[in-house]
Chain A
Amino acid sequence: MSKAIIQIRDLHTRYGEHEILKGITLDIFPNETFVILGRSGCGKSTLMRHMIGLQKPDQGSVFVKGIDLLSAGEKEREQMLKKIGVLFQGSALFNSMTIGDNVALPLREHTRLEKSTVDIMTRLKLDLVGLSGFETFMPAQLSGGMRKRAALARALTMDPDILFCDEPSAGLDPIVAVGIDHLILKLKKAFKMTIVIVTHELASVFLIADRIALLHDGHVVFLGDKAAFKKDGNPVVRQFIERLPDSEPLDGSKYLQTLIGDSFHGI
């Protein structure tokens, strides 16, 4: 197998006293679609923020194409980030700008391309995501699915080597969501990108993933392909696949302590 394009080693993150990631080690390889799966609040998005250099680990390291984004020099870091595309959960389009201006923005900010070239590139990317003719529309004039596609076009503007997608189907109806999944598959085939997707949508995972990492309680409890995931006997994996609710018995004294706080110790 080729050398990992993203290497995560013993990554720990805390929010206050609460440890979210408890020593994550992962390798993501070029041209694969890697899905980070887990329940809400399990640290999936936090892990993604580490991979795009938006968050500093309390311990451990993250290397993207052999470079530690946090310790890299400003120029090196900027060059690296230019080749990374991010589709944020809420689309993160600028509401005061047209769809065309949103998509063109990275090119205007980070390249010296002529306006005519930028205009053609913008229309090419909008056509790729099925939004030809919508460049003069404002984000508020589009549906949720169309906004997501526009955000995807913007994430692709600089022809990234790695595309990160945070909950690409969140808030979309199942038909629109599967349309986004198919679009991601098409783009991967054409541009040979490495795609990292954070999600909890199983239908999406089974359609697009090459490999899956299941996060639970700050650890990777499963790492492998779709076939292995479906057959895995780990209770957390089974709970996910069989859509089972939590069945942990309630610890009465712990629950009482939670409810009454410190005064519990004075009883």
Chain B
Amino acid sequence: MSVEIRTVQRGSMVLVEVCGEVDLYTSPQLRAEILKMAAGKNLSLMVNLECVTYMDSSGVATLVEALQHVNRNGGRMVLFGLQAEVKEIFELTRLDKVFDIRSNFETAMKWVTA
């Protein structure tokens, strides 16, 4: 299993693109990358999960930790492009009530710039 993570920053806007399977073995890599980005002040962190084919609870926990850091640093965070199975995990763990989740980049961008 592997995961690829790409990050782009433009001013206060950060885009994190995650691709592949996020599990017990790959989530530490996601954690390292996303917490590095979440450390900035007053950022808008957009996380693209379009090509995440599997996410276990360690991946979900990593995103919760990132949200905690972003909130603490006065920023905000949005997830978008969740595949049906990944979305189900968020619903089961009731984290769909905790995260701002949008269907695609355009709607996530709209939320960030609103």
Contacts and interface: CB of A to CB of B under 8 A. Distances in A.
Interface of A: 82, 107, 111-114, 116-117, 120-121, 124-125, 127-128, 158-159, 186, 190-192
20 contacts: A82-B24, A113-B27, A113-B28, A113-B58, A117-B27, A117-B58, A120-B65, A121-B58, A124-B60, A124-B93, A127-B93, A127-B94, A128-B93, A158-B24, A159-B24, A159-B56, A159-B57, A190-B89, A190-B92, A191-B89
A117 B64 CA distance: 9
Residue among A82, A107, A114, A127 with the most chain B CB within 10 A?
A114
Contact of A190 (B61, B62, B88): B88
Contacts of B23: 159
Interface residues of B, number: 21
A120 to B, nearest CB: 4
A125 B28 CA distance: 19
A113 B24 contact: yes
Residue among A82, A128, A159, A190 with the most chain B CB within 10 A?
A159
Interface of B: 23-25, 27-28, 31, 56-58, 60-62, 64-65, 85, 88-89, 91-94
Q: Which secondary structure characterizes the binding site on chain A? A: helix
A67 B36 CA distance: 40
A191 B54 CA distance: 11
Contacts of A114: 28, 31
Q: Which secondary structure characterizes the binding site on chain B? A: helix
A127 B88 CA distance: 16
A190 B56 CA distance: 11
Contact of A121 (B57, B88, B94): B57
Contact of B61 (A82, A121, A158, A192): A121
B28 A112 contact: yes
Nearest to A111: B24
Contacts of A128: 92-93
A114 B92 CA distance: 23
A124 B27 contact: no
B88 A117 contact: no
Contacts of B88: 190
Given A116-B65, A124-B61, A125-B57, 19 more contacts: A111-B25, A112-B28, A113-B24, A114-B28, A117-B28, A117-B58, A117-B61, A121-B57, A121-B58, A124-B57, A127-B93, A127-B94, A128-B93, A159-B58, A190-B88, A190-B89, A190-B91, A190-B92, A191-B92
Given A158-B24, A159-B56, A190-B88, A117 B62 contact: yes
A28 B53 CA distance: 25
Contacts of B64: 120, 124
Residue among A82, A117, A127, A128 with the most chain B CB within 10 A?
A117
B93 A117 contact: no
A107 B76 CA distance: 29
A128 B92 CA distance: 8
